[in-house]
Structure 1
Amino acid sequence: MLDDFMLRATLAGLAVALATGPLGCFVVWRRMAYFGDATAHAAILGVALALGFQISIFIGTMVVALVMAMIVSVLAGRGWAMDTTLGVLAHSALAFGLVAVSFLPAVRVDLSAYLFGDILAVSRFDLAVIATGSFLVLGLILWRWAALLTATLNEDLAHASGINPGHERLVLTLALAVVVAVALKIVGALLIAALLIIPAAAARNFARSPESMALGAIIIGGLSVWGGLQLSLLQDTPSGPSIVVFAAMIFLVTTIAGTVLQKRSGR
């Protein structure tokens, strides 16, 4: 059954959507969009280091993404201006990664696959790694859901409840690094943040609770994967960008529908 490349691609995309849905909600709630973007850009440097040291691409990208996320978290705790810091780190890591790849003449690298994803080339081993990483992230978020939500809503309330906001921030950092590593094959470094943010933003237009928003983000992410792959198959468009385009279309529809419903209810 797994000999069908479209089936493997769909299963891999759906697995990633399971993790990016709830995680993306926290990214939106905490206004961490640029943080996720910086972590994703650092993945290219991880690819270069992994190829240079001949280790797993997954391990290389996850380690570098985690290091980047940890650096940003430390700087944020010291009061650095995050917009400027994230801008410098994100683009520097991406540039260093692209330059580092050019110093590997013995290695033939299709950078577009890492920048924009190559979900149609997912192998059985890739599918197993992606599914394992996604389910681990989903399990981690479900396990820490109440604490993460409390720390996100109000840090003073979290302290009063015996919850360490810094610890919960570390949980999100770890989850984000793993998602970046597993999603790199799906949509690429430049579009990972979009897969995190757009489904969650679309789900927020009709969600009535944090749980319903997370579930809605998972569903929209899954629909985006399916719709994007169908668009790619029928119109011969790039698969990764097609997934993001489909997610953006859903966001537009839900935004318009939500606005119309609000106006009607306000009458």
Structure 2
Amino acid sequence: MLHLKYSLGLALLAVLLAFTAPAPPRKTRLYLIGDSTIAQKVGQVFPETGWGMPLATFFDTAAVVVDNRAQNGRSTRTFLAENRWQPIVDALQPQDYVMIQFGHNDEAENYPDRYTSPADYRKNLIKFVTETRRKKAYPVLITPVTRRRFKNGQQEETHVAYSAATSEIANTYKVPLIDLDKTSRELVQQFGEEPSKLLFLQLAPGDHPNYPYGRNDNTHFSELGARKMAQLVVQEVVAQRLPGLADHLAKPTAKNAVPPTSTTKDAQPTTP
């Protein structure tokens, strides 16, 4: 009888401890919305890699969860029309982040199924920003990552109007801006015209079984290119001291080491 009472007492104590134990700290969820340059890729298109794929390796997974919702071929207009945005809004919690990078498909005038005028592009970015802040979460605008395009040995700017529109909205609404268009162009230029092919999906016939006839793609990234672009994003997270992200980086390894920044600037206002 004493043994039964003792067992019941231990069971009751365990239940009480379970209910009174402090809940683990909530992880910051970092949503990524955008196009194929960021998106998760299926095995059939490997080695094509979106820069959102390696991004998670740069953060302490005990504190930050990267939730990549980017989709191939989407513009701001089609991302909204396909109801890909509303589920994110519904799930947002205070202090979460939404990184927003579109432009490649918005500017595609030859593809009316995805093209978005600069005016509508601005309206859509404003919608993403205001609805993120309404949930007391943090928006971050990112200019569209560059395509590889050289002329006379110089990497050209490939998203003039849409990068300018992104920067304009960031400035008007006081949103942190990662100018990935600029930093990725500088990176491609540093590599040089021929070596920069290593950053993109450039394959000769027979190089990979997924591309038996080769691939000459100056938009989508190789594994190396995606990791380099993710490094540029994280470098700006650190430089701008974005709270909840900059203070939760993973311990450096050979794969996720972030090059030091040449300048360190204060974060732009991130009040939701």
State TM-score, norm by structure 1.
0.28
The higher relative CO (CA closer than 8 Å, separation ≥ 6) is in 1
> Which has the higher Rg, Structure 1 or Structure 2?
2
What TM-score results when the alignment is normalised by the length of structure 2? 0.27
More strand by share: 2
* Greater share of residues in helix: 1
